[in-house]
Structure 1
Amino acid sequence: MIRFFQKFRWPDWVILGVLMAFFGYIWFTIEGSLNYSWRWHLIPNYILGWHTTREVYFANILLQGLGATIRISVYASVLALIFGTILGIARCSSNLTIRMLARTYLELLRNIPPVVVIFIFFFFLSQQLIDFLNLERWARGIARQDNNAVWEFFFGEMRRFPSLIAGVIVLALFESAFVGEIIRAGIQSIPKGQREAARSIGMSHGQELRYIVLPQAVRKVVPPLANQFISLIKDSAILSLISVQELTYKTLELVASSRMIFEAWLTTAGFYFVICFGLSRLFARFEKRSDNR
């Protein structure tokens, strides 16, 4: 930390001073003009609570929402990668019908507001699929069991399992459009000469993709895919609009019950920042190691 500040020059200190003055002004304006009473000492209790009867700590409302956000992001990213890879390959297909269908899907999702897309997918696809598979009844049966610790570890509270699955499906379908474009760009970046060489030795189109194109394309698309995964985590906040109980939805519940508007939202922003910034630095380090090789 000391070495970091030793690199500062006088313009850096001026900018730092201006920023501190600005945030200080905002702080005192909120406290004075709005007559707002800060209650930061209560926030830790809403992250990790203490059960007085059982005398154990438990994940309270904000930590529950954070866990749901992490689960949704991980599962949705896997599905989005699968769907996006299929769409990316379809975009490069020699069949005009397949290529146009994939392009239509990608262009529609990339040029419609995310909120509209979320509602369309939820009411017309995700909710219909959950009702068809009768997942709500199945999840309630799991929730009544005593030995459901493994299920709760991977999916959280099982009574809310349909809501989790709805969020995963909706977010994966939305993000797959952007993943598909990344995969398409990676495939098309491979020189045509390599494809022609593969065909000249008798490889089929599938073998060409499997052994020649995709292995090289994967290395090129890993950095943009990592950035898209970070964007997916931030986009998961939109799922609060369809009552998926992730971090943003839980924060809304906390604000409504406690009136700690600024403390709750600043804490939530801090959670998102720590996760996204930590992942960005982790991916940057992996990228540097791969470049050095």
Structure 2
Amino acid sequence: MLSFYKKLRWLDYVILVVLATFVGYIWFTIEGTLNYAWRWELIPNYILRWHTGREEWFANLLLQGLAATVRISIYASILALILGTILGVARCSANLTIRMLARTYLEFLRNIPPVVIVFIFFFFLSQQLIEALNLEAWSRSIARQENRGIWEFFFGNMRQFPSLVSGVIVLALFESAFVGEIVRAGIQSVGKGQREAARSIGMSHMQELRYIVLPQALKKVVPPMANQFITLIKDSSIISLISVQELTYKTVELVASTRLIFEAWITTAAFYFILCFGLSMLFRKLETKS
């Protein structure tokens, strides 16, 4: 802790004072202008609450939303990584048709607002897939079972499973475009000499990718990929627009029913900050070790 303070210079202290002054100004403006009655004592009950009937603690709205956000972010990250890697490899393909199809997909997603993309994917792809696989009936049958604990651990409330799937698919398809560009940049950063050497010893194109190009490319793309996964967590708030019950959606519900406007949104912002900042520190440590 002392070493941290030793690293601070006079300019750092000036910035901290300015930030503290700004926060204080905003605080007093809210207090004076809006005459807002703070009710922070109610917020803990919407995170964890004691159930008098079952005599146990249970996760309330905000914690339910946080758990859903974590699940959606994990599953969407895995799917986006798989799709993005395929797109990145396709962008570097020798086949012009494959290369153009991948580029069309990437450019389409990168140049249209995220909200529009979310609605397009939800109504034209995700919703049809859920109906085709009859996921709603299947998830409801699971929800009626007594031994559904393992399902709820991984997917939450099984009655909301179709909503979870929609959120994961929509978010993964949107984020895969950015992951694909990161992978493409990583592949193209590998020197041509190494590829030519691989071909000279008789390696096929797939062997060249598997043994020479991708192992080196993946090491180079770890920092931007980590940043993209953190961005994915923040972007997950967009899918509340299609009624996916993650943290932002639950916060809207809480504000509508209790009018705890500032308390609810500040708490939600704190949850997002803890998630993203914690991951940022974790990835930074992994980068230094590697």
Q: Same fold (TM over 0.5)?
A: yes
Give 1:25 shift: 1.8
Are the aligned partners of 1:91 and 1:98 in contact in 2 as well (CA < 8 Å)? yes
Counterpart amino acid of 1:188?
Q
For 2:194, the aligned partner's letter is: Q
- Indicate the residue corresponding to 2:22 in structure 1: 22
Amino acid at match of 1:52: T
Q: Write the deviation string for residues 175-221 of structure 1: whole angstroms up to 9, x where unpaired.
A: 00000001111111111111111111111111111111111111111
Matches within 5 A, 1:266-277: 266-277=266-277
- The secondary structure found in structure 2 opposite 1:33 is helix
State the match for 1:147 in structure 2.
Answer: 147
- Structure 1: how far apart are the matches of 2:177 and 2:11? 43
How many angstroms apart in 1 are the aligned matches of 2:171 and 2:36?
Answer: 36
Q: Taking structure 1 as reference, are residues 195 and 11 closer, same or farther at Cα in structure 2, changes over 3 Å only? A: closer
1:219 matched to 2:231: no
| Matches of 2:151 and 2:16, distance apart in 1 | 48
Q: Is residue 2:231 matched to residue 1:263?
A: no
Deviation for aligned residue 1:52: 1.1
TM-score (norm 1): 0.96
CA contact (8 A) 1:31 1:38 kept: no
Residue 32 of structure 1: how far off its partner (Å) = 2.2
The equivalent of 1:67 in structure 2 is: 67
Q: Deviations over 1:73-119 (max 9, x none)?
A: 00000000010011011001110000000000001101110000000
Structure 2 counterpart SS, 1:112: coil
Aligned length: 290
Post-superposition offset of 1:289: 1.0
For 2:94 and 2:23, the matched residues in 1 are separated by 56
Q: Residue type of the partner of 1:153?
A: F
Q: What's the TM-score, normalizing by structure 2?
A: 0.97
TM-aligned CA deviation for residue 17 of structure 1? 2.4
- In structure 2, the residue matched to 1:238 is 238
- Give, in angstroms, the shift of residue 5 of structure 1: 3.7
SS at match of 1:146: coil
1:123-134 matches, within 5 Å, as 123-134=123-134
Shift of 1:3: 4.6
Equivalents in 1 of 2:17, 2:99: separation in Å? Answer: 54
Unpaired segments of 5 or more residues in structure 2? none
Residue 223 of structure 1, CA deviation? 1.1
Helix, strand or coil for the counterpart of 1:145? coil
Distance 2:119 2:96 in 1: 30
Alpha-carbon distance in structure 1 between the residues aligned to 2:59 and 2:136: 24
Judged with a 3 Å threshold, the aligned counterparts in structure 2 of structure 1 residues 206 and 14 are, in CA distance, closer, same or farther, namely: closer
Give the Cα–Cα distance (whole angstroms) in 2 for the partners of residues 6 and 203 of structure 1. Answer: 54
Q: Which amino acid aligns with 1:79?
A: L
Distance 2:37 2:215 in 1: 57
Shift in Å, 1:54: 1.3
Q: Which residue of 1 aligns with 2:283?
A: 283
Partner of 1:36: 36
Identity among equivalent pairs (%): 78
Shift in alpha-carbon separation, 1:194–1:15, aligned structure 2, 3 A? closer
Is the CA contact (8 Å cut-off) linking 1:83 and 1:180 kept in structure 2? yes
How far residue 7 of structure 1 moved from its aligned partner, in angstroms, is 4.3
Query: Using the alignment, how far apart are the partners of 1:183 and 1:79 within structure 2?
Result: 14
Matching residue of 1:135: 135
When the two chains are superposed, the root-mean-square deviation of aligned CA atoms in Å is 1.1
Supply the AA of the counterpart residue of 2:270.
G
**Conserved 8 A contact 1:251-1:265:** yes
Q: 1:188 to 1:13 in 2, by over 3 A?
A: closer
Displacement of 1:59 after TM fit? 0.5
Which digits, 9 at most, give the CA deviation of each residue in 1:134-179, with x for residues without a partner? 1000000000000000000000000000000000000000000000
Report what 1:77 is aligned to: 77
C-alpha distance in 2 between matches for 1:118 and 1:273: 23
1:96 and 2:96 equivalent?
yes
Does the C-alpha gap of structure 1 residues 149 and 24 become closer, same or farther in structure 2, counting only changes over 3 Å? same
